[in-house]
Chain A
Amino acid sequence: MSQPTPANGTHANGTTKERAFHKTNILPPLDVYENADELLVVIDVPGISAGDLSIEVLGDSLKFTAEARTPGAPGAPVERVFERVIRLPANIDAERITAETKNGTVVLHMPKLEAAKPRKIPVKSA
């Protein structure tokens, strides 16, 4: 063979394997909490900082994407891609959804619509 052979990543048949980043697609696990004011969604996304996150709301679904590269072992860096689509309940105010990152998790705050919150009706006596 006239072609120079790379030190690693070469198959027996001579084709060169892409060694730049080992890409892993992950469906991240999530927890859902609720109180009278909001829904809280906690998602495991190790290696993700706030800048790697993208959250889109389209109609009644929320698409969550996060992508990060970690150096890892030399020759085996890892690219983690987290993707998840969440159906939003009807009582959520999509305009006011916020997100924060904490210790490799993302917390989505989904406030409920004012109209959907429980309301106390005062009873007047005649």
Chain B
Amino acid sequence: MSMQSLFYDFGEFGQPFRAFDLLAKEMTRFAAPDGVTQKLDRAEPRKPRAPGVFPEVEAWEKDGVFFLSATLPGVAKEDVSITVEKNTVNVSTKRELPGIEGYELRARERRAFAFDRTFELPAPIAADKVEASLENGILTVSLPKAPETKPIKINVKSA
């Protein structure tokens, strides 16, 4: 019996360690602060990611505006695409490192990446008021809530 079969084939017991795989998968999802939850896009198959490359994302809410920020060094603003629909926002970009013309590559530590994430926000967004900026490799998207979802105070009249 080889090691491989020891670990993966337990005959009538199936694959007892599969639970750990599922748990690890579940742990890679993360809940952002202030109730903004991230939803993995399960409709598309996962694209393989280079190990260790995972642009940091922060999400927060302030004064009725949701904010998302991602660290994207070396990405030009033309290569960032943001789409908003109802209460979801998709940010996708990629960094290709094709080399520099006239130069030969001597050492490579930086990695190319493809970044495509969909975030589900707790309230609909005013799509026409969404703004995004890419400054020094940090992307910041501000997503104001749609006006009708803001609470309206009703004055109670006495008879």
The residue that B60 contacts in the complex, of A29, A68, A73, A103, with Cβ under 8 A, is A73
Q: Give the total of B residues in contact with A, Cβ under 8 Å.
A: 31
B3 within 8 A of A: no
In the complex, the answer to whether B107 meets A31 with C-beta atoms within 8 Å is: yes
A116 within 8 A of B: no
In the complex, the answer to whether A103 meets B137 with C-beta atoms within 8 Å is: yes
In the complex, the answer to whether B109 meets A31 with C-beta atoms within 8 Å is: yes
In the complex, the answer to whether A35 meets B102 with C-beta atoms within 8 Å is: yes
The residue that A104 contacts in the complex, of B59, B62, B107, B137, with Cβ under 8 A, is B137
Select the stretch in B22-30, B66-74, B146-154 that faces chain A.
Answer: B66-74
> Among A34, A35, A46, A73, which residue has the most Cβ atoms of chain B within 10 A?
A46
In the complex, the answer to whether B105 meets A104 with C-beta atoms within 8 Å is: no
User: Cβ of B97: which chain A residues have Cβ within 8 Å of it?
Assistant: 31
Task: For A39, give the chain B residue with the smallest CB separation.
Answer: B106
Task: For A27, give the chain B residue with the smallest CB separation.
Answer: B109
In the complex, the answer to whether B107 meets A30 with C-beta atoms within 8 Å is: yes
User: Cβ of B62: which chain A residues have Cβ within 8 Å of it?
Assistant: 74
In the complex, the answer to whether B106 meets A104 with C-beta atoms within 8 Å is: no
B108 within 8 A of A: yes
A94 within 8 A of B: no
Q: Provide the bound-state CA to CA distance between A34 and B107, in Å.
A: 10
In the complex, the answer to whether A49 meets B110 with C-beta atoms within 8 Å is: no
In the complex, the answer to whether A101 meets B110 with C-beta atoms within 8 Å is: no
Q: Provide the bound-state CA to CA distance between A44 and B102, in Å.
A: 21
Given A31-B105, A40-B103, A104-B72: A45 in contact with B111 (beta carbons within 8 A): no
Q: Give the total of A residues in contact with B, Cβ under 8 Å.
A: 27
What's the minimum C-beta distance from B48 to chain A, rounded to whole angstroms?
19
What is the total of A-B residue contacts with beta carbons within 8 Å?
Answer: 88
In the complex, the answer to whether B110 meets A42 with C-beta atoms within 8 Å is: yes
The residue that A46 contacts in the complex, of B33, B73, B109, with Cβ under 8 A, is B73
Q: Provide the bound-state CA to CA distance between A48 and B74, in Å.
A: 12
In the complex, the answer to whether B111 meets A104 with C-beta atoms within 8 Å is: no
1/0 per residue A32-57: CB within 8 Å of B? 11110001101011111100000000
Q: Provide the bound-state CA to CA distance between A77 and B49, in Å.
A: 28
In the complex, the answer to whether B138 meets A45 with C-beta atoms within 8 Å is: no
Task: For B71, give the chain A residue with the smallest CB separation.
Answer: A46
In the complex, the answer to whether A29 meets B110 with C-beta atoms within 8 Å is: yes
B99 within 8 A of A: yes
- Complex interface residues of chain A between 49 and 69 (CB less than 8 A to chain B): 49, 68
A105 within 8 A of B: yes
Q: Which 9 A-B pairs have the closest CB atoms?
A: A104-B137, A104-B73, A73-B60, A33-B103, A29-B109, A46-B137, A46-B71, A32-B107, A44-B73
